[in-house]
Amino acid sequence: VSDRREDHEEDRLDRRAYFAPADADARVEASLAAIDRRLSPASRRRRRLAYGGTGAVLAAAAAAVLSWIAVRAPGAPPAWAGPVLETGVAQVAVALADGSRVESDAASEIALARSASDEVRLALRRGGATFDVARRPDRRFVVEVDGVEVSVIGTRFTVRRISDPHRAVEVAVERGRVEVRAGDEHRELGAGQRWRIDLEPPSRAQLGSAAESERAAPEIASSAAADRADEGADEGAIAPAIEGASPDRSSEDRAAPLGAEAPAARGRDEAASLFEGALAARHGGSLRGAEASLERLLAEHPRDARAPLAAFELGRLRMDALGDRQGAIRALERSLAIGRSSPFREDALARLVALHRALGQERACERRAREYLTRHPEGAHAGDVRRGCTTP
């Protein structure tokens, strides 16, 4: 085997050295501790609890959208994994690969916008968090919130996004110094200093319309039409982009006849607005409003590129926050039907297994478990799926 490999390597068009990661040694070292933590038995228990726990735990957890859920634990915090950390009723502490630590308040959402050797950039979308930043002179650590940037090299500070009675951002420094930029304003804060930046008052219109639509939301439209839309989106994605058109064109644009650009664009805008309205409603605490916006998006824009994700999000919302298991099953089934090549199929299947198991629906659970293990024998949820379909 090794001889064949060595022979082959002489012939390779090997360009690896020309596109190699910077600071590989440091990054490899930085990840080792995080891997150890994630492999520890306590960490595995925490993740199992977060993903497959009882309804009460799920309702309390109010899980992360595209991320792994971490539950605060004694001792070393778990490693940050995934692009977004979202907390429910509990505080959560996580460790970043560079050794920094984020202690998120309850009901907060933080996105990891960039994690590189020269910069770590987080976006605080909701709530607040305290950041204990490992000192590394060659790396900037930046927290963005509503246009305000807080950047440091090594320190401990807290950032809070305030929405009531007026939108504002508050920065408090416990140790070291931070630099805060808000538009043209720029200020340095030292240990013990605090700065509150008042922003525009929030608009409640979007939340109101989302809440109103809850009662009027029609049920979901034909999955076959959306299925075709999903296939079309995949097949057509490269062609217009290579010709220099916008890479974000949705299947609705391509399906529209000549001269129908305006209605197509309007539909896309409406779908985008509904999706963003759902996120805003959820962040504002209106879970039913978020549910209604997602239902409307699916009913009124089944061919939109966001539809499969909207169905998945609807299932996740019902399962994790609303305690509506049957509704979650319907939404996740819908997500599978319209998003045949979507990246969250694996997650949707795993969630269906967990839902059918919790409801004592053994045959449905076994069917979905077989499908999951056939498609994803090495998948992230394979261990949980292999637990079987007996009601706990």
Partner 1 sequence: MGSLASLAARRGEGSADGAAPDDEDPAAIDARLVVAARAGDPAARDAIYRRHARMVLGLAHRLLAGASEADDLLQDVFVIALSRLDRLEDPRALRSWLGGITTRVATRRLKWARWRTRIGLGDAIETEQMISPETPPDVRAELRALYRMVGRLRPVVQVALVLRRVEGMTLPEIAAQMDCSVATVKRYVDEAEVLLRAELSRGGRSA
In the block, tokens 């805008």 appear at 269
Decide if residue 32 touches partner 1 (CB under 8 A): yes
340 near 228, Cβ under 8 Å?
no
Establish if 146 lies at the interface with partner 1 (CB under 8 A).
no
Report whether 197 contacts 148 (CB < 8 A).
yes
81 binds partner 1 (CB under 8 A): yes
Q: Of the two residues 360 and 377, which places its CB atom closer to partner 1 in the complex?
A: 377
**The sheet that has 168-175: what strands, in order across it?**
92-95, 101-104, 128-132, 156-162, 168-175, 194-198
| Piece in contact with partner 1 (CB under 8 A), picked from 165-173, 193-201, 237-245, 355-363 | 237-245
Three-class SS state of 369 = helix
Q: Is residue 13 close enough to count as binding partner 1 by CB under 8 A? A: yes
Q: Does 17 bind partner 1 (CB under 8 A)?
A: yes
Q: Interface with partner 1 includes 116 (CB under 8 A)?
A: yes
Q: How far is the CB of 379 from partner 1 (least distance, A)?
A: 9
Shortest separation between residue 191's beta carbon and partner 1, angstroms: 30
Number of H helices, E strands in the chain: 15, 13
Report if residue 260 touches partner 1, rule: CB under 8 A: no
Question: Under the criterion CB under 8 A, does residue 196 sit at the interface with partner 1?
Answer: no
Task: Kindly tell me which residue out of 62, 129, 305, 331 binds partner 1, with binding defined by CB under 8 A.
Answer: 305
Alpha carbon distance, N-terminus to C-terminus of the chain: 47
- The verdict on 250 binding partner 1 (CB under 8 A) reads yes
Q: Residue 247 interacts with partner 1 (CB under 8 A)?
A: yes
Residue 155, H or E segment: none
Preceding peptide of 83 cis, ω within 30° = no
The interface region with partner 1, picked from 25-33, 126-134, 328-336, 351-359 by CB under 8 A, is: 25-33
The DSSP symbol for 19 reads G
The reply to whether 306 sits near partner 1 by the rule CB under 8 A is yes
How near is the Cβ of 149 to partner 1 at its closest, in Å? 17
CB 137 within 8 A of CB 176: no
Distance from C-alpha of 325 to C-alpha of 365, rounded to nearest angstrom: 13
DSSP H helices, 40-145, are 41-52, 55-61
Give the nearer residue to partner 1 in terms of CB position, either 131 or 275: 275
Should residue 219 be labelled a site residue for partner 1 when binding is judged by CB under 8 A? no
Does residue 38 bind partner 1 (CB under 8 A)? yes
- 3-state SS assignment for residue 114: strand
CB neighbour list of residue 189: distance below 8 Å, 6 or more residues apart? 157, 171, 173, 177, 178, 180, 195
Give the binding range for partner 1 (CB under 8 A) out of 1-9, 124-132, 147-155, 330-338: 1-9
* 81 vs 364, beta carbon nearer partner 1: 81
Give the binding site for partner 1 (CB under 8 A).
1-2, 8, 12-22, 24-25, 27-28, 30-32, 34-35, 38-39, 66, 79, 81-83, 97, 113-116, 233-234, 237-238, 241-242, 247-248, 250, 272, 275, 305-306, 309, 341-344, 346, 378, 380
